[in-house]
Amino acid sequence: MKTRRSKREIASLIVGFGIIANSMRLRKRLSQIPTLDELPYGDLAKNGVLDDWVVISAEGVEINFGTMVVAIEYCRSNSLDAIDLIPSNIPVARAIEFLREYDPIEYRKNPLAEGRGANQSIVISKDAFVRTGLMKSEALDPFDMVQATKRIKQCCATSFISVIAPTLKVSSNLVRSRREWRGIYRDYDSIPLVMRILEVTILVAMSVSRKLLNKFSFASFLLAP
């Protein structure tokens, strides 16, 4: 009986440490994502620089003038062709999903990485937009927004990143729809199912020891981004 219990406790410890390690990994990724700062934007408007940029946005998303100009200035200052804007009011669950898919350091270095983003709004230079071959830039549905992000990454392999936009807020529901999931895993239809099975398996494994489960759940909650 003791042997069986000790094995369960060891299994719970392993899974628990894995959850804590993953929480720390996601928190580190979050700290590596740049944040747009408020900047004076009068000169950009006067010099006609705004005409050289395009804003791609999802349904229900409106980017204000100040955020757009600051995003353009950030691109110009960091030799970027496009940036994906992460809203300040993105739900925690959605943010964690994004951080699982997006490594801020490796994403820009790896030209073969698949395009990932918050799928809400993208500021892109007009030249790069033409290269993508995209025909629409406003009110894109979830599937088209995901596909646009992937296409931009292909055309701007090392000059496309995600940044946090504190002034960008989205009032629409940010829970991923089935159509958006299909856009992300279009060529890997079985991945969402496999991920779900793994999540359930982990929960079942940890449920064998309630005390350890409570401790690690609390620890992962504190460490989560």
Q: What is the mean pLDDT of each run of 10 residues along the chain (225 residues)?
A: 62 73 88 81 60 90 87 92 92 86 92 91 96 91 91 95 88 51 50 57 58 55 53
Q: Where are the domains of the chain?
A: 2-30+189-223, 33-184
The pair of three-digit structure tokens given for residue 12, joined into one six-digit string: 């719970």
d(CA 10, CA 219): 17
Query: How many Å is the Cα radius of gyration of the chain?
Result: 20
Structure-block tokens of residue 86: 């992460």
pLDDT attached to residue 159? 95
Concatenated DSSP letters of 173-215: --SPPHHHHHHHTTT-TTHHHHHHHHHHHHHHHHTT-HHHHHH
What does the pLDDT read at residue 8?
66
Q: What is the pLDDT of residue 124?
A: 96
- pTM of the entire predicted model: 0.74
